[in-house]
Amino acid sequence: MSNEDLKQKLLAQIEALKLFPNNIQVKILRSRINKQLEQISKQTEIKETIPVDKKQQANLSRSIKLKKHFRYLRLIRDNYPNLKFAEIRKQFSKRKRGEDVSIPDATWFNPSP
């Protein structure tokens, strides 16, 4: 069902509510329907205003994930300054595969000092 069809149905429901007396239940139902209409209009505005380039979006999400990964490894490096960054990355990949590493599990779970 498209947004336009849903919007028309909700408008028809609001028109049907005008037949009933204006009591609390009708007001609550009318406000719920109006909120749904607002959400539908916001969704269509967002879709119309933001054309997303797939390549740009992919690069952005990749960048965010890599920054998060680097911050995590940097916190571990702060706890183990005698290890090189490359060694920490190797141990991290080994740990992901389930192999034993020299850095304890407690550090991997909470790298903050």
**pLDDT tens across 21-53, in order?**
989 999 999 999 999 999 988 887 766 666 668
- Residues 58-112: pLDDT tens digits? 999 999 999 999 999 999 999 999 999 999 999 999 999 999 999 998 888 888 7
- Which residue carries 């609001």 as its tokens? 14
Contact 28, 58 (CB under 8 A): no
Contact 88, 77 (CB under 8 A): yes
Summarize the confidence of residues 2-7 as an average pLDDT.
85
pLDDT of residue 46: 67
End-to-end Cα spacing for the chain: 53
E-assigned strand segments in the chain: none
pLDDT of residue 53: 84
- Which residue carries 């407690």 as its tokens? 106
Q: How far apart are CA 28 and CA 50, in angstroms?
A: 33
Contact 40, 6 (CB under 8 A): yes
Q: Taken in order 100, 103, 104, 107, is the CA torsion positive or negative?
A: negative
Summarize the confidence of residues 11-30 as an average pLDDT.
91
